[in-house]
């Protein structure tokens, strides 16, 4: 095993990621202002070329530093802010010739007599779109020996599924995936559904290649439709507040240690 900051990397781990992933992580940290700059100052980073490949431990060091300093809530927030609210809309339109937003409008219009049914159908479309995204994008930016990025889900009941993401996130860094998944689901379904996403840690699979993260998603149909923009603003504010709370707690701990 080779020591890398506060976590270890298997000598057989040759998983590489595109520089675009590392650059995206760095840009996210700069959005956090001085806190982000402070985190970056503790990690020895080369000049990033978005087209080149880098060992996944490069991003892993950043994630581990965040956890060590501020806890998993901070990593959840970075995952939540990883993509724009409607980024999947643009990708879906490229793949299928129509945006997810317009698919939703069509279902609402064609099922005016049964809105619940239309949203059940659309919910599955969104889940399938996420599987397509995690698989397609992963194959373009994550490269592992005898392993490939992928995703999928198993239906447990009418309103619950277990969603699987296989990607280059390290053991203990799954809150990044959960934050991203929470935002993507709510970006299209949060107006009609209350959505909870919990980590099924006992099902996680860690290898020297990629990691399988499992998340249980439970949907509860809302009695009254909410504004999607208000839902997302509320969730973003909550995620950021939780992050800032951890920053303040960390600052208080450091102050007490200094005293």
194's enclosing H/E stretch is: strand 193-199
Among 16-20, 64-68, 201-205, the range scoring the smallest mean pLDDT is: 64-68
- Alpha-carbon span 57 to 13, nearest angstrom: 9
* pLDDT at residue 34, as a whole number: 82
Q: What is the mean pLDDT of residues 125-135?
A: 96
* pLDDT at residue 2, as a whole number: 34
Tell which residue, 22, 5, 19, has the closest CA to residue 67.
5
* pLDDT at residue 110, as a whole number: 79
Tell which residue, 203, 116, 117, 78, has the closest CA to residue 153.
203
Confidence check: pLDDT of 55 > 60: yes
Q: What is the mean pLDDT of residues 54-70?
A: 91
Q: What is the mean pLDDT of residues 111-139?
A: 92
Handedness of CA 175, 176, 181, 186 (dihedral sign): positive
* pLDDT at residue 158, as a whole number: 94
- Alpha-carbon span 179 to 242, nearest angstrom: 12
pLDDT digits (tens, 9 = 90+) for 140-170: 999 998 899 999 999 999 999 999 999 999 9
Q: What average pLDDT does the chain have?
A: 89
More confident residue, 7 or 239: 239
Helix axis angle for 174-189 and 87-96, nearest 10°, is 70
More confident residue, 232 or 11: 232
* pLDDT at residue 253, as a whole number: 63
Count how many Cα atoms sit within 13 Å of the Cα of residue 13 in the half-sphere of its side chain: 25
Confidence check: pLDDT of 213 > 90: yes
Confidence check: pLDDT of 214 > 80: yes
* pLDDT at residue 97, as a whole number: 96
pLDDT digits (tens, 9 = 90+) for 168-207: 999 999 999 999 999 999 999 999 999 999 999 999 998 8
Q: How confident is the model at residue 4 (pLDDT cuts 50, 70, 90)?
A: very low
More confident residue, 134 or 108: 134
- Is the Cβ–Cβ distance between 56 and 79 less than 8 Å? no
- Alpha-carbon span 173 to 58, nearest angstrom: 13
């Amino acid at each position: 095993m080779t020591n890398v900051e506060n976590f270890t990397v298997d000598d057989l781990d040759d998983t590489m990621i595109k520089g675009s992933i590392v650059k995206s992580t760095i840009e996210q940290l700069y959005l956090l202002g001085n806190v982000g700059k402070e985190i970056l100052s503790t990690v020895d980073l080369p000049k990033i070329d978005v087209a080149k490949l880098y060992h996944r431990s490069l991003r892993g060091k950043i994630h581990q530093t965040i956890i060590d300093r501020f806890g998993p809530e901070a990593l959840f927030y970075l995952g939540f802010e990883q993509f724009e609210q409607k980024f999947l809309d643009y990708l879906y339109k490229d793949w299928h010739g129509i945006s997810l937003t317009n698919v939703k409008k069509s279902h609402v219009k064609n099922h005016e007599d049964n809105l619940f049914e239309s949203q059940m159908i659309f919910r599955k479309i969104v889940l399938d779109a996420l599987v397509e995204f995690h698989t397609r994008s992963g194959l373009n930016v994550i490269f592992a020996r005898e392993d490939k990025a992928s995703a999928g889900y198993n239906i447990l009941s009418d309103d619950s599924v277990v969603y699987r993401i296989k990607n280059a996130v390290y053991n203990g860094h799954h809150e990044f995936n959960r934050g991203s998944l929470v935002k993507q689901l709510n970006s299209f379904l949060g107006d009609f559904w209350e959505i909870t996403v919990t980590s099924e840690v006992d099902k996680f699979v860690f290898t020297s290649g990629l990691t399988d993260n499992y998340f249980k998603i439970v949907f509860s149909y809302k009695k009254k439709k909410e504004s999607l923009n208000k839902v997302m603003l509320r969730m973003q504010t909550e995620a950021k507040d939780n992050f800032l709370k951890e920053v303040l707690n960390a600052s208080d701990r450091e102050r007490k240690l200094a005293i």
